[in-house]
Each structure stands twice: as structure tokens, then as C-alpha cells.
A and B are shown apart, each in its own frame.
Chain A
Amino acid sequence: MSGIQLYNYDLDENCYRVRLALSMLGIACKTVAMNAFPGNEHKAPAFLAINPLGTLPVLKDEELTLFGAEAILCHLARAHGGDTGLLPAHGDAYAQVMQWLFFSAGELSVTVEARGNALLDQPGDAVALRAGARRVLRVMDDHMTARGHAGADWFVGEHATLADIALFPAFALSRDYGVDHDEYPALRRWGRRFRTLPGFLTMPGIPDYH
């Protein structure tokens, strides 16, 4: 039994990013179910003692406690990823994976806000959030269109990396906040490829059948 624990809420897409990585890396993990909605358990003092930001997910690995999906992905790939290549060690590929991970944690968070607003009663301007989400999804589609012309299948390099894992949920769940997949043909093709990766799993909002 590994000493890995994930504080998880099934409907949280940042938790899903980590569940995807754990599954694709074949890492056994104990899950601590959080009542994030409607219970707001992640805002309660007991959880704030673990993560003062009051955000999910949190990963504990022996003595290490981490918040932030992207940092957790990096830790899992480096500490437990073996030779999967999910996190390139150096060179352009390392820098490009980092670029997309920071994009995931930064600009792409508008998609998390749009979904939180649409599904989980979180405050926000639905129209502005949806417009913002379309802008960042388009950045991804433009990138994958160009990658396709270069004969490449993935966001970075020759095989799937943490970049693909971090970016997939925002696209796959976009219908939750009213943005269809029609305008993103390159992401549709990439998403279909992503679903064939060993260890892929779905979450509510991402159909098992496709």
C-alpha cells in the first residue's frame, strides 16, 4: 500500500486531472471523499489546516502535502512516473510542458470558473465566463491544428505528456457550461486519441460511450 492520499470531489475537474494521472501511471491511492458541494467541506477549518487555500485537490504522499493540480501532476510523474515520459526531463519539451501546465493553472482556469458557475452555484458573469472559455479553447484548437500539419498528435513532443492530461478536462467538460465542441475540430480529434490512452477514465459529464 502506497502512502498516497487524494482529497477528492468527484465533480471537481481539478481532482479529475489528478485521478487521470494516477490511473494512467497505475498508482494505487487512498481517496478521501470531500463534500465540496453543497457541503463546502473544503472551506471548513479542518481542511484549511491541510490546505489554507481551501481548494481541491490535495495530495499527501508520505510526509509531503501538495495543493494545486499541476504541481501534483509534476510530483506524480517525477516521483512515480518511471520512464513514462509524461514529464520530459529537459530541453524544449520540458519547457513546453511547463508552458501548458502554467496555462492550465492560469488562463484556462476561466473554464473551471465557467463550469463552477453553471453547475455548482459559484458566483460569476455566465456570459463573460463562457466568452473567456471559448477564447482559451480556441488557443488550444489553433495549437493542435498547427500540430496536425506538423504530423504531431499531442500538445508537446511525440507522445502524451502531463500537458495533455492537464488540458483534456477543460475541453471534454465544456458542454457543462454551454460551449459545444463544434468549433474545435482539432481538439475533437485529439480528445478521441486521448481517450485511447492506457488508464484513461471518465468522470460525470464525460460519457463512457463516445
Chain B
Amino acid sequence: MTFIQGWHPVALSVSIEPGSSAGTHIGGQELVVWRDNSGVAHVWEDRCPHRGMKLSFGFVRGDHIACLYHGWQYDIAGQCRYVPAHPNLEVPATIKVPVFRTVEAAGMIWTSADADAGSPAAAGTADETVPVRSLYVDCDADELIAALKADLPAPFKGKSTATIAQLGDDLFRVATGDDTLLLGLQRLEDERAALHIVIAGPAASYAGAGQAHFLAWATALRGRLEQPAMTWPAHQAEAV
């Protein structure tokens, strides 16, 4: 699995507010995720062509993102439009940041480096979503999915046993009781992965208590993954 193929989640939509930016990784590649003031999300290479500074350290003004070092401003196509030290300069077209296709679906921001990729699997999976959390874990992505499959959540509403289905390379759906979760898997780098978790359903049903229910499950899942089960030494167990 490389970043070239398919669609990959990089954040929950709510985590990237209008006018803000954040760094992230896919397969070790550094990316900036930012949202312009009109609310459109963008995913780019996280590197200013001028001095290599991370654009995720920069600042968003209108539909431009500016580098923190020298204020070079880039439009939403990645084209440099303004160099403050040379305000009258017609900026050469070659000063451009690589940009990646970006869409929002299932309450997450998805990106692809593949110009021919169709719609992400997440498109159309849910009319409304309620965010739970992005769960960052220090382990391999496949190990994270194995742990997820071994530890599906109890329902917030209803009773039936949880099941999991894979909808795309990096998208999973968990049905538990009357509830449905969508989980986007992000392969950050070696031994570091994230699950972006949302509830498919209306805020009226899940805001607050429903979110707290699945948040507790997700955070416990991380704990079990990172800290192997404590086992009592035999002599102590016998003494109990």
C-alpha cells in the first residue's frame, strides 16, 4: 500500500477548523492539512519550496496559506502568489507546492495522490456523522486493525453483537446494536497509525453520551494495544 494508490484519511473534519493547518504523515511522507476561510480542506506536501520549512507551521489567510519563515503565500492550487520581501514581483509559475486531491466524506478528510482514483469508499456511507476521536497509536497499522477486530465495542443503543466489515482499503464499518461506526485507518509511518472514528447517525441521538460511550471504548483499545496485559506472578496469584 503506497500513498500513490487509493484514498487515505488524514483527519476528522472537525479537527481542522477554518483558517487552521496541521501536519500529518502517510507512509512517512510529510503532509499539511489545512482549511481555508471559506471552509474548503486541502492536503499538500508539507514543505515550502523556498527554504523547506513545514507549511503546517504556517498560517492561513483567506484562501492562501503562508509560510512562517518568510511569509510566502500560496493559493489553493499550491501556486506561490506573493513574496513579502519582493512585493512587486511577478512570482514565477515554477514556485509551486505539490497538492493532492482532497475530499470530505463520512466526517473525515481524505486525500489521494492518484489523479485517476474514483470516489473514496467513504463517499455516501453516511448522511450525518458524529465525531468520536482520532486515535493515534504507536504500533503497526495491521496490528491496530487486528486489535480492533478482537475488541469491537458494545452498543450504545440496542443489543445485537458487533460485526466489522471492510468497505475500502482504509475504511471499516462496525455495526453494534443499533449503532454504526465508520473508522478510517491512517498509516502514518512505521509503527505509528491512527484510526479516525465517527458514529454514523444524527447528533440528536449521539452527541454527548453516545460520543462518550465510544470514546471510552476507543481509548481503552489504545491502552490494550500499547500495554500488554498485566499478568500476576504465579506465587502472588496463588496467594490471593
Contacts and interface: CB of A to CB of B under 8 A. Distances in A.
Interface of A: 138, 142, 145-146, 149-151, 175, 180-183, 185-186, 188-189, 192, 207, 209-210
B139 interface: no
29 contacts: A138-B136, A145-B133, A146-B212, A149-B207, A149-B211, A149-B212, A149-B215, A150-B208, A175-B57, A180-B56, A181-B22, A181-B23, A182-B22, A182-B23, A182-B25, A182-B56, A183-B194, A185-B12, A185-B15, A186-B133, A188-B15, A188-B22, A189-B15, A189-B17, A192-B17, A192-B20, A207-B59, A209-B66, A209-B68
A185 B68 contact: no
A180 B54 CA distance: 11
A142 B219 contact: yes
B202 to A, nearest CB: 15
A175 B53 CA distance: 13
B79 interface: no
Contacts of B12: 185
Nearest to A150: B208
A149 B208 contact: yes
Contacts of A188: 15, 20, 22
A145 B215 contact: yes
Contacts, number: 49
Interface in B1-50: 11-12, 15, 17, 20, 22-25
Interface string B129-140: 000011010000
Nearest to A189: B17
Contacts of A182: 22-25, 56
A162 B66 CA distance: 32
Contacts of A151: 208
Given A149-B211, A149-B212, A180-B23, 11 more contacts: A149-B207, A149-B208, A150-B212, A180-B56, A182-B24, A185-B15, A185-B134, A188-B20, A189-B15, A209-B58, A209-B68
A150 B171 CA distance: 27
Nearest to B24: A182
A24 to B, nearest CB: 23
Contacts of A185: 11-12, 15, 22, 133-134
Contacts of B134: 185
Contacts of A142: 219
A182 B20 CA distance: 12
Contacts of A209: 58-59, 66, 68
Contacts of A150: 208, 212
Interface string B51-75: 0000011110000001010000000
A194 to B, nearest CB: 13
A146 B212 CA distance: 7
Q: Which 8 A-B pairs have the closest CB atoms?
A: A185-B15, A149-B211, A183-B136, A209-B59, A182-B23, A145-B133, A182-B24, A210-B59
A151 B66 CA distance: 32
